Structures are given as C-alpha cells and as structure tokens.
Amino acid sequence: MDMTDLQMMGKRAASAKPFLQRMSQEEKDNALHHGAELLVQDASEILAANELDMEAARKNGMSAGMLDRLKLTKERIEAMAEGLRQIAALPDCIGEIMEEFERPNGLKIRKVRVPMGVIGMIYEARPNVTADAFGLCFKTGNAVILKGGSDALHSNAAVVRVLRRALEDLHIPSDVLQLIEDTDRQVTVAFMKLKEYVDLLIPRGSAGLIRSVVENSTIPVIETGTGNCHVYVDRDADLDMAAGIIYNAKTQRIGVCNACESLVVHRDVREAFLPRLKEVLAPENVELRGDEGTLEILPDCTPAAEADFGTEYLDYILSIKTVDSLDDAISHINKYNTKHSECIVTENAEAAERFLNDIDAACVYWNASTRFTDGYEFGFGAEIGISTQKLHARGPMGLKELTSYKYTIAGNGQVRK
Amino acid sequence: MDMTDLQMMGKRAASAKPFLQRMSQEEKDNALHHGAELLVQDASEILAANELDMEAARKNGMSAGMLDRLKLTKERIEAMAEGLRQIAALPDCIGEIMEEFERPNGLKIRKVRVPMGVIGMIYEARPNVTADAFGLCFKTGNAVILKGGSDALHSNAAVVRVLRRALEDLHIPSDVLQLIEDTDRQVTVAFMKLKEYVDLLIPRGSAGLIRSVVENSTIPVIETGTGNCHVYVDRDADLDMAAGIIYNAKTQRIGVCNACESLVVHRDVREAFLPRLKEVLAPENVELRGDEGTLEILPDCTPAAEADFGTEYLDYILSIKTVDSLDDAISHINKYNTKHSECIVTENAEAAERFLNDIDAACVYWNASTRFTDGYEFGFGAEIGISTQKLHARGPMGLKELTSYKYTIAGNGQVRK
C-alpha cells in the first residue's frame, strides 16, 4: 500500500460524509441491527480468519493471556453483535440544537450538533474493538478508518468485510467503514498525517502507542487511557471505608487505566491504617512499595524508589507515600498523576472540597473507588475511551464526545457595518 | 535561552495553577482593572520600547502598512487598557456546574467548568494581542505563556513587564503571565513540544505559522483563522440582496479571515447577476477571475485558474465559479473551502436548508454576510480567534472556549462490583 492508496481511502471516507449526514437515526439504527445480524450469521467466516491469527500468534510464542485476548468464539461474536444492538438503542444526538439566540440586528444563530466527519482510530486491543468503534462512529454519523493491531489483522479484516456487506445490503456507501490492512509502520505514521481527510484521531492502547500518535499526528488527537491513579487517605478518613476502596480500586481488575496504583496517606493515621491495609490486601498478594514514613510502620515492605510514584503498574503492586498535610497530598498527586482519576477518603467536607477543587484530573472522587471512571458506570450507555487531555473531552467519552457543532445563521440580507 | 529555561517557564506557569483556580472572579476582575490602570500610567515605558521596535523595523525596510500595525500610541495603549476593562466586565464561567446527576448506586456526579490550565499562544500580530491574550486567559483562570512576533519584541516585553507589576502589586504570582523573549526558531519549536506543562496551544497569524504549529506541536492545538469563504447565489436568490452581501463580504475589510474570496453562481441567474455585480464592485476596483461560464457573460474578466478556487486572496480579488445546480455548488464549496464561513443567498427555504446542512464549515449563512463570523458579532463579548477545526471549539471562540471541565464524584464508600 502506498501513500496514494491511503489518500484514496481518506477521500472515499470524506466523500461519504454528506450521505451519512442526511441519514435518519432510524436508518442508522437499522443498519446497526443488520450488521449485528450478519456478524452472527457469518460467524464461521470470522472464526476461520481468527484461527489464522491464532496460529501465527502461537508460532510467535504469544503469551497465554494475550492469546486469550485475541481469540474469538461464537459467544464473543454474539457479544460483538449485542454491542451493536445496544448502540442502536441509545438516543440520537445529531441535529440537536444546543443553543439558539437572536442578535439585535435580527440574525438568528443556532448552534447545531453535527458529526465530527471522518474519525481515525489506531488500536492494539482485541478484535471486538473493530465492531465497537464502527458502531459508535456510525451511530454519530461519522465515517471511520481503522488501523488495528497486526496480530489481529485477519480477524479485523473479516469483521470489517461482514459489516461492509451489511452496509451494502442497505445501499449505504460501505466506505463509511474502512480498515488499513498494511502493517508497515510507515503506513501508520502516514495515516497520522492524513489531515486533509481525517478530522479526529483516537489512539487506544499502550502508553507507547499513544505517545507515538501524539508525536507524529498532524490530525487533532484525543489522548486516552494512561492512568496513574491515587487514593489519598486523609487524617479524617473512615479507615474501614478507605481499606475497602483501596482493595477495590487496586485488585478488582489490575490491567485497567482506572485501577489505583498509589496510596497517599496522612502521617497521623498511618499507624492505624497501614497494618490494617496490609491485612486486607494480603489475600491478593499485593506488593507494597513504601517511602520512609511507610517503612517505619511496615518495616518489611519494599522501599519505594522515586520512579515508583510515576509508574502505572497495571499489576499487583501499590506504591505508598506518607504526607504531613492535605496540601502535601495535593502537591504530590498533581506532580505524579496522569490527570485520570484520583480519590480522597475523608469525613471532613472542607478537606474534600479542597481536594476536588485543587486536583487536576478528569475525575476526582470523594469516598468512592476510582474504578467508576467508565462510560457505562457514568450512565453514558457507551464508551469510546477515557480522555486524559483537557481539549474537547475529558474523562469517559460517550457518543456526544464523537460530535462537533456548527453555527447556522439565518438573516434577511444583513451586512456588517 | 536553552531548553532548561523553557522547561522552567512551563514549570512556573503550571505551579501557579492552584492559586489561579482558587481566585474569586472579583479578585481576577480587580487585577484586570489594575493592569489597565498601570498600562495607562506607564504608557511612556511602553512607548519607548515600541520606538526601539519601530526603529529596527524601519531599518529593515518594513512596509508602511506593517509599520502602522506595529506602532503604538497613547490612544492605542488606552484601547488595550479598555480591552482589559471590557474583559473584566464579562460574566464569570469558571465553577459553573454544567451537568449534575445521581447514579443508581448513589454516586453524585457533577460536571464542573474549570480552567484549561496553561495556555500557550504564538502570534505574529500587533502588540495589543499581548494584553488581550493575557486578559482572556487570566479571566478564565488560565496561566499563559506568550510567544509574540520578533518585530514587536520590545513592545511585547514592555507590556508584559507592566502587567506583571500589576499582578505583583496584588500579590498574585506574576508567572501566570510569561513571555518568551528568545526569537530563535528552535526555541519556538521546543515551545510547541512543552507538553508536560502546556495544556493548549493557540497559533494566531499567517497560514504558514499555523501549519508549522500543527506539524510540530505535541500539545493539543486549536487551529484558527484561514478563511477561503464563498457566497453562493442560488437560482432563487434576491439578486439585489446577493450583490449587497458580496459587496460587504468582499470589500468591507479585505485582510480578514471572514472576507468572501469566491462567488459561486447558479447558471440560470448568471446573466442577470454577473453584470450587475460587476457594476456594484467597480468603485472598489475588485478584480474578477471567472471560469468559462463567467467569461461567456463577462468576456473581459480574468480567466480563473484551478488554483484560484483554493486561494485566500485577502485582497481586492474575487474568483467566480458557475454551477448547474445546488448540489454542484455544495460539492465545489466542500472541496475548496477551509471550513470557516460560507453563505447561500436564496429565497428558497428548502435550498437553504440543504445548504446549511450539507456544507462542512464552522458558520453557514443564509442571506447574510460572512463578515459576521466574529466573537463580538455573535455576542460573546470577547474573541480569542476563529476555530476552523472541529475538535473542542468551532467558529468564534469566546471565554468558554478557553475552559475545560472535570467530573467530581461524591460517594459514601461505593466500590465497583
């Protein structure tokens, strides 16, 4: 695939925009249902393609955990289809009049919600992201160009083939869904610069992938995912509640961006709290890495290096920092966090207010687990990712976060004086 | 200035964030008034610095028009001060609760408007932008790092010096306003990559500057300004209204991004309209560059090359394209426009609706001049620029467009199941 092919993909996606923009929500939802139907009906085609990926992955010595993420089954394909049906059931937001006002000169100005246009998505994850990303973008009237992980190439290509057939059945231009099948890194980098045709680029995957996109892209990017999340146990914390929240945020699912990676604890409660926490976390074999103030209480815990406080472990490890005050806790967290999700446990409303105000993060919790940072948990009905930047969208992104707006202005011949 | 100095500037700006976030609107408005006061009081210091810039510019053979843009006078400094006072008079938006909802598990979620954090601005324009950019960013609780044009270096430095004195008088950390005084291009490029400390970068200036920022920046960018704006005169247009709108959009101010650069005219009205338009534009000596369909009616007009349709002239030149249908007009405009401002002149509501829906631009007009795309004309009371991208903000950007949001979530020990 050369750059001309990539340009042509962009051009085809862009040329589908007016068609998409004119589709009614009912037509879009019908297409999502038909896509779900074909995924189930043609599951054997997808499973055969997946087997090719699995074979290659086994040969390359992929780990058991990764193989499980890559593997598709009838049930997993049914879950993909169900995902599309759930997206179809969500309310429409395109065309919503967000604001409407009249100027003294008689101009009537409307701010109207419109699709973003063409969305690019680069991801490393499981093949189900392919159907999911299509569903969310299509529901919001966007064309999408996908670049999935090379390990899942055959699986992704099969899913896209089936969904494009569903679109064609309904006489919808199938170029609203395209997949880059070339695994050459140069093609991926060129994709990040397809600014003429792509309005928004969303990377989903490792910190390395996201960094590469941020560094190379000329298309506006929404950064997602990295989460070095803290729980701060205040002097006035309910210590049982604190232990419960940390147990949940650390161990309920370790490989996710909203898991807790670091505990910050007020010096006045460390003696009462740290041994208790150690006991609570013991059944899960969580390794504790503490600063000096921690070691004074838990002498057999691993000493934390400076680097620990900046590390998203995604593992059964928790760093611990002791602080002398709420201010120190806030400074520490604002220094090391990735602007994702942070929590204070306290019964002191004033301290909580300070924390909620001063911590610079997408989601700041008072007495609740950081694990709730999630589009479904927030009630958005869908999630395309968790934004850790401040431009456009912050925190869990649902359907509305895949839209833009335009101003339409109606007059009767007004000119500017 | 080396990279460490730049890092330190970023660090100082970021460390002022919690202070800014805790300031009341009244405190911020007082500081804006005090800044305005000192600008007027210390005008002679600014004028002396400006004279150094003027001298160097004259030696370098700067054009009279550019010299006029660079020049400061007592009146122009008074206008800068008045700008700050006007910003102080605008309503506050920081802290606004944008949404508030409770989840079935009892979590109370609030979406709260917060400052963006640290805003970087790279501009080429007149020294008054310095005070203006500070005022808008400060009002919305943001620290700002400015990189102005090298021609205005002494003037910008003097304005910043005076405003920082005003902040210090009120015990506000003056690092909320910093100016990069090094004119080395490498420093500017390094500034575009100061992602660790800068949350948003806004370039204001030529298409070349904006392109350079988009290509080099790792910080999220809002693209502003380039406007290849069209007026489409439909078959059902009121031709007098059409001529009036084009006269205004083309000639009222030629060097601005919302000026009309191209006329698209329906074949059925070209005979009635084009000679009339030629007459209307004659007093302003507007050069017409037409396609074949235009030349058939106006044989002595300049033939338009393909490149004309993609050119933002910012001059007394208008390209003309004849089309056979509304669809062709929409296709032509979507192909060549810069997503800024587009207009249809028609008495046909159905045609207008199609145009308003299908044209991909920040502002789409029906029977009004494209010149209205402006924060003040929209009633925003301020303007930091016109966004031509779809991420975050589109069209005129006022104060709200310099803000982000965070979610605060209050619970009583909830954990995720």
A356 interaction partners in chain B (CB closer than 8 Å): 408
Give the pLDDT score at A206: 84
Mean pLDDT value across residues B246-273? 96
Chain B contact for A319 (CB, 8 A cutoff) = no
- Res. B125: pLDDT tops 80: no
Q: Which residue of B has its CA nearest to A410?
A: B366
- ipTM for the assembly: 0.93
Chain A contact for B74 (CB, 8 A cutoff) = no
* Cβ separation A364–B199 shorter than 8 A: no
A155, two tokens: 């699986």
Nearest chain A Cα distance for residue B285, angstroms: 20
Is B103 in a helix, a strand, or coil? coil
Q: Which residue of A has its CA nearest to B393?
A: A392
- Res. A225: pLDDT tops 80: no
Could you say which residues from 130 to 189 on chain B have a Cβ atom under 8 Å away from some Cβ of chain A?
A: none
Chain B contact for A406 (CB, 8 A cutoff) = yes
Looking at the partner chain, which of B101, B222, B391 has a beta carbon nearest the beta carbon of A200? Answer: B391
Which residues are CB-contacts of B100 (< 8 A; sequence separation ≥ 6)? Answer: B108, B109, B110, B111
- Res. B255: pLDDT tops 90: no
B390 interaction partners in chain A (CB closer than 8 Å): 116-117, 199-200, 220, 404
Task: Give the count of Cβ contacts less than 8 A between chain A and B.
Answer: 200
Nearest chain A Cα distance for residue B175, angstroms: 18
For all residues of chain A together, what is the average pLDDT?
Answer: 95
- Res. A150: pLDDT tops 80: yes
Mean pLDDT value across residues B273-290? 97
Is residue A232 within 8 Å of A319, Cβ to Cβ? no
Give the pLDDT score at A105: 97
Convert the pLDDT of each residue in A242-284 to its tens digit: 999 999 999 999 988 999 999 999 999 999 999 999 999 999 9
* Cβ separation B367–A412 shorter than 8 A: yes
Q: Which residue of A has its CA nearest to B16?
A: A358
For all residues of chain B together, what is the average pLDDT?
Answer: 95
pTM above 0.90, yes or no: yes
Give the pLDDT score at B279: 97
Give the pLDDT score at A226: 86
A161-190: buried (b, 16+ CB within 10 Å) or exposed (e) per residue? bbbbbbbeeeebbbbbbbbbbbeeeebbeb
Q: Using the Cα atoms of residue B252, residue B253, residue B254 and residue B260 in order, give the sign of their dihedral.
A: negative
B408 interaction partners in chain A (CB closer than 8 Å): 356, 363-366
Convert the pLDDT of each residue in B309-321 to its tens digit: 999 999 999 999 9
d(CA B391, CA A136): 17
Convert the pLDDT of each residue in A376-403 to its tens digit: 999 998 888 999 999 999 999 999 999 9
Convert the pLDDT of each residue in A298-317 to its tens digit: 999 999 999 999 999 999 99
**Domains along the sequence of chain B with CATH:** 3-223+393-410 (3.40.605.10), 229-372 (3.40.309.10)
E-assigned strand segments in B267-348? 287-290, 302-303, 317-323, 341-345
Convert the pLDDT of each residue in A83-94 to its tens digit: 999 999 999 999
Cα angle at A294 between A290 and A295, to 5 degrees? 85
Chain B contact for A297 (CB, 8 A cutoff) = no
Dump the DSSP string for A356-372: HHH--SSEEEEEE-GGG
pLDDT band at B177 (very low <50, low <70, confident <90, very high): very high
* Cβ separation B368–A107 shorter than 8 A: yes
Is A320 in a helix, a strand, or coil? strand
Mean pLDDT value across residues B312-338? 96
Mean pLDDT value across residues A220-224? 92
Mean pLDDT value across residues A107-116? 97
Q: Which residue of B has its CA nearest to A11?
A: B335
Give the pLDDT score at B90: 95
The region, left, alpha or beta by phi > 0 then psi within -120 to 50, assigned to residue B171 is left
Sequence letter at residue B109: I
Convert the pLDDT of each residue in B16-64 to its tens digit: 998 998 899 999 999 999 999 999 999 999 999 999 999 999 999 998 8
Looking at the partner chain, which of A218, A371, A392 has a beta carbon nearest the beta carbon of B391? Answer: A392
B240, two tokens: 């007098």
Question: In B140-263, which ranges are continuous DSSP H helix?
Answer: 153-169, 185-191, 207-216, 239-251
B12, two tokens: 């100082």
Chain A contact for B96 (CB, 8 A cutoff) = no
pLDDT band at B264 (very low <50, low <70, confident <90, very high): very high
- Res. A208: pLDDT tops 80: yes
pLDDT band at B2 (very low <50, low <70, confident <90, very high): confident
The burial class, CB within 10 Å (0-12 / 13-18 / 19+), for A39 is buried
pLDDT band at B65 (very low <50, low <70, confident <90, very high): confident
What residue has token string 């009036």?
A: B244
Percent above pLDDT 70 for chain B = 100
Question: In A170-266, which ranges are continuous DSSP H helix?
Answer: 185-191, 207-216, 239-251
- Res. A1: pLDDT tops 90: no
Could you say which residues from 187 to 206 on chain B have a Cβ atom under 8 Å away from some Cβ of chain A?
A: 195, 199-200
* Cβ separation B391–A215 shorter than 8 A: no
Give the pLDDT score at B310: 94
Is residue A107 within 8 Å of A397, Cβ to Cβ? no
Give the pLDDT score at B206: 84
Give the pLDDT score at A124: 85
Of the ranges A70-84, A108-122, B102-116, B121-135, which one carries the lowest mean pLDDT score?
Answer: B121-135
Q: Which residue of A has its CA nearest to B405?
A: A394
Chain A contact for B358 (CB, 8 A cutoff) = yes
Give the pLDDT score at A255: 86
Which residues are CB-contacts of B91 (< 8 A; sequence separation ≥ 6)? Answer: none
d(CA A312, CA A227): 6
Give the pLDDT score at B126: 82
Chain B contact for A19 (CB, 8 A cutoff) = no
